[in-house]
Structure 1
Amino acid sequence: MALRQCLDDVEASARQILPPFAIRYFSCGSDGEQTLADNINAFRRIRLRPRLMRDVSKRDTSTTILGQKVSFPIAISPTALHQWAHPDGEHATAKAAESMGTGMVLSMYSGSSLEEIADCAPSGLRWLHMDLLSNTDVMKYIINRAENKGYTGIFVTLDRPVASKKRAPNIVTKAYGRFPVSFGHFQGTDTPYKSSDKYTEHSDGINTWETIDWLQSITRLPIVAKGILTAEDAREAVKHGVSGILVSNHGGRQLDGVMATIDVLPEVAQAVKGTGVEIYLDGGVRLGTDVLKALALGAKAVFVGRPILWGLALDGECGVKRVLKILQEEFDIAMALTGCRSVEEINADLVQKGCTCVAKL
């Protein structure tokens, strides 16, 4: 099936073929879904200040994430249950990321094991997503396996001490029973995460910043703190040795009513300036100009989640590649139209100073 030329079209087409429970699971937010909507709307409030009459005939969209080169500053966020979008699941997503020269954060709730994903896209750039569990032996076991299979970083979710209340109707709950999913990383472990009926069991809020210290002690991989929304927590993360911070509000699926990620990005970026810690952003990225705005406000790269699932649903690996190509092409055009020849030339001068989200720079 041919895909059209923007991400809204991809989503609309995917919604026509997916079952209702999958649509609702992928698209829902928590409580009143205020943050879910604002993640996208906040980007629309930001205006660009293009610089003209520059030679932009040759442009380089490449950058690095944790020191590893990517073809463009757009990578794939961790999302669960890819098989609900397409039978090929995370295999298709990983292959698409590999072929497009970018990276994928493999969700802890992948239907395929981390070994299977490494083997299906052996030259791909991949990172492991990790929730904080009460069973630290299981965490250590999974991280050790990731090290052995060439994963090059751990993205640790910090903003889920307890599970939120999502606006997902009973059709999603019932779907767990009708379409059971095994979580590949946990097979062979003594843990309730082996299947989706125990999916919501977490660490019950017991973790502190010392948990990050413990993670540093058991792995040589760089750690990215995912879920930070304030300067205060950004500084704490730096104190505890993280290599990166992913400014994220869980796609509007955790605490509803928090600020959109693009609105807090400048605050976080300013808090860690000069430390060498890289800043990334996810939540609400739907256009190439969104990518440019995020980079102008302090992000090294952006990560996308839901658009990847819509593309996967529509055409498997080819659908994911198309989503990435759309964003890459839009970003390249945005660079040219704002007078930027490389990502290094993207800075805060390109966004309107009067925007609320820029006022803290």
Structure 2
Amino acid sequence: MRRVEEWEREAEWRLPAPVLAYFRQGAGAGLSAAEAAACWDAPRLLPRVLRDVSAVATRTSVLGTDVDTPILVAPTTLQRQAHPEGEVAMVHGTAAAGSLTCVTGNAGVPFAALAGPAPWWVQAYVLKDRRLTAELLERAKEAGARAVVLTADTPVVGQQFSTGPSVWDTVPPEHLLANIDRRELDDWRWDKAADLTPATIDWLRTTTGLPVVVKGVLRPDDARTCLAAGAAAIWVSNHGGRQLDGAVPTARALRPVAEALAGSGAELYVDGGLRTGRHALLALALGATAVFVGRPALWALTVDGASGVQRLLTDLTAELAHAMALVGAPDLAALTPDLVADGT
């Protein structure tokens, strides 16, 4: 079994320095990015004993798609810098592990290249020109995207500071934004919209006919508002620490949001610093339906393409199953908040 740290160390010497820095980078001083994993390390568990765990099942479903594991892959940019096949390899690797991936709207491959039985969702930044947004998402839907993930925490792009060459000076144009007409990129219509409201959720749902997940939620009141506006699921995320530095870690934000959604029937996801099967168990016990990993999947993609992604997710799922046996949980339904010690 290979730990995430091992994937990262091997990826270090394979990636160009500006790309490696970009993948690791957080906003501002990097406080939120740096503390994410440690915040999942802190909670302590109260395992049950004398439970039959001779068979442990990690199977579940997300928005109607059956998956063998609740550990999924978050959207990330510049995947073709990690591996020549980029998002194609990522989607195939996750599918081979019985999982699914959320593909960024900034993908470096045409959505049509992802068409097939492998399940995937599309992440959306709503643009100033809603028509262009609708056209982009229609292409994703035609290629098989099963849900739209609205990134809600990016009215403006977080400030990121770096020394040395910028990644944007080194990346070939064809490795980014493969699903838009690059001749129009300087047009204001391609700028991200800063005027999003809860009504945007219903607009996306009715325009695409797909379920809408709202990503970037950290507050219980925002979660309730999103559900009332038509969201099918809530995704607790601080954008990997890449937007507002100092935003609360997702390990702390998850429980209050889960409590706010209790009884609603809505699905709940979380990302941000999850690096082990134990981390995933904690998140699921605190109320998450599934968890997403971002940077770890990039490291695995860099090292061994689709096979690397498959192995990463398989190993993390094996860690999760092992931890489930030790806390006395034969299935995901048995992962409940009482397994997490109060005050953690």
1:138 touches 1:191 (CA, 8 Å); kept in 2? no
Q: Is 2:201 aligned against 1:212? A: yes
Query: Partner residue of 1:76?
Result: 73
2:19 touches 2:167 (CA, 8 Å); kept in 1? no
Pairwise mapping of residues 222-261 of structure 1 onto structure 2 (< 5 A)?
222-261=211-250
The 1:88–1:43 alpha-carbon spacing in structure 2 relative to 1, beyond 3 Å, is same
Structure 1 residue corresponding to 2:124, chosen from 120, 130, 147: 130
> 1:169 offset after TM fit, Å?
3.0
Counterpart Cα distance in 1 of 2:318 and 2:333: 18
Structure 1 residue corresponding to 2:140, chosen from 139, 143, 146: 146
2:109 touches 2:175 (CA, 8 Å); kept in 1? no
Query: Partner residue of 2:177?
Result: 183
1:82 touches 1:89 (CA, 8 Å); kept in 2? yes
Counterpart Cα distance in 2 of 1:110 and 1:247: 22
Please report the TM-score for the alignment, with normalisation by the length of structure 1: 0.91
Query: Partner residue of 2:52?
Result: 55
Query: Partner residue of 2:25?
Result: 28
Counterpart residue type for residue 239 of structure 2: H
> 1:179 offset after TM fit, Å?
6.5
Query: Partner residue of 2:302?
Result: 313
- Work out the number of aligned pairs and report it: 343
1:67-92 Cα distance to aligned partner (Å, 9 max, x none): 21110101110001101111121111
> 1:49 offset after TM fit, Å?
1.1
Q: Is 2:268 aligned against 1:279? A: yes
> 1:131 offset after TM fit, Å?
0.6
- Please give the secondary structure, in 1, of the residue aligned with 2:83: coil
Counterpart Cα distance in 1 of 2:172 and 2:227: 44
Please report the TM-score for the alignment, with normalisation by the length of structure 2: 0.95
Structure 1 residue corresponding to 2:99, chosen from 87, 91, 102: 102
1:24 touches 1:172 (CA, 8 Å); kept in 2? no
Q: Is 2:295 aligned against 1:298? A: no
Counterpart Cα distance in 2 of 1:188 and 1:257: 34
Structure 1 gap segments, 5+ residues each: 356-361
1:101 touches 1:124 (CA, 8 Å); kept in 2? no
The 1:6–1:182 alpha-carbon spacing in structure 2 relative to 1, beyond 3 Å, is closer
1:241-270 Cα distance to aligned partner (Å, 9 max, x none): 100011000000000101110101011111
Counterpart Cα distance in 1 of 2:171 and 2:153: 27
> 1:21 offset after TM fit, Å?
0.8
Q: Is 2:139 aligned against 1:157? A: no
- Please give the secondary structure, in 2, of the residue aligned with 1:186: coil
The 1:175–1:191 alpha-carbon spacing in structure 2 relative to 1, beyond 3 Å, is closer
Percent same amino acid among aligned pairs?
A: 35
Query: Partner residue of 1:359?
Result: none
Counterpart residue type for residue 48 of structure 2: R
Task: Give the aligned CA root-mean-square deviation in angstroms.
Answer: 1.8
1:162 touches 1:202 (CA, 8 Å); kept in 2? no
Counterpart Cα distance in 1 of 2:305 and 2:215: 27
The 1:220–1:164 alpha-carbon spacing in structure 2 relative to 1, beyond 3 Å, is same
